[in-house]
């Protein structure tokens, strides 16, 4: 997914307007909250690795979007990217970071 959306190039310093990066960061914070507080067994017991939760979340979002007719855009117009594209970009960004995806 990260390669399809071109996340590595997009998140490189100086490539995007700060507003787009802020939107990706806000989506990332929302995803972290959903995973940290919306999955009690994993958050409390630490039973599931953050990367596994991120993958499961992304798959669920992508499956639902695909069922509704959404497709990964061939070329993303980042300043005008839709909610789903920004959310998936945030998930990919979280997955690439060295820090854990879940922090309570």
Compare 89 and 50 and report the one with higher pLDDT.
89
Are the C-beta atoms of 84 and 65 separated by less than 8 Å?
Answer: yes
Packing angle, helices 18-37 and 83-96, rounded to 10: 70
Quote the pLDDT of residue 50: 74
Task: Decide: 31 and 87 in contact? Cβ < 8 Å.
Answer: yes
DSSP state of 98: S
Q: What is the DSSP letter of 15?
A: S
> pLDDT for 17-36, tens place per residue?
778 888 988 999 999 888 88
User: What tens digit of pLDDT does each residue of 47-84 get?
Assistant: 456 778 888 899 999 999 999 999 888 888 888 889 99
The alpha-carbon radius of gyration of the chain (Å, integer) is 14
């Amino acid at each position: 997914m990260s390669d399809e959306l071109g996340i590595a190039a997009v998140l490189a310093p100086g490539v995007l307007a700060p507003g787009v990066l802020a939107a990706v960061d806000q989506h990332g914070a929302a995803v972290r909250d959903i995973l940290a507080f919306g999955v009690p067994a994993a958050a409390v017991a630490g039973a599931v690795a953050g990367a596994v939760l991120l993958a499961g979340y992304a798959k669920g979002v992508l499956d639902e979007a695909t069922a509704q007719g959404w497709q990964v855009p061939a070329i993303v117009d980042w300043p005008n990217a839709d909610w789903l594209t920004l959310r998936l970009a945030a998930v990919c960004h979280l997955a690439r970071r060295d820090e854990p995806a879940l922090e309570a």
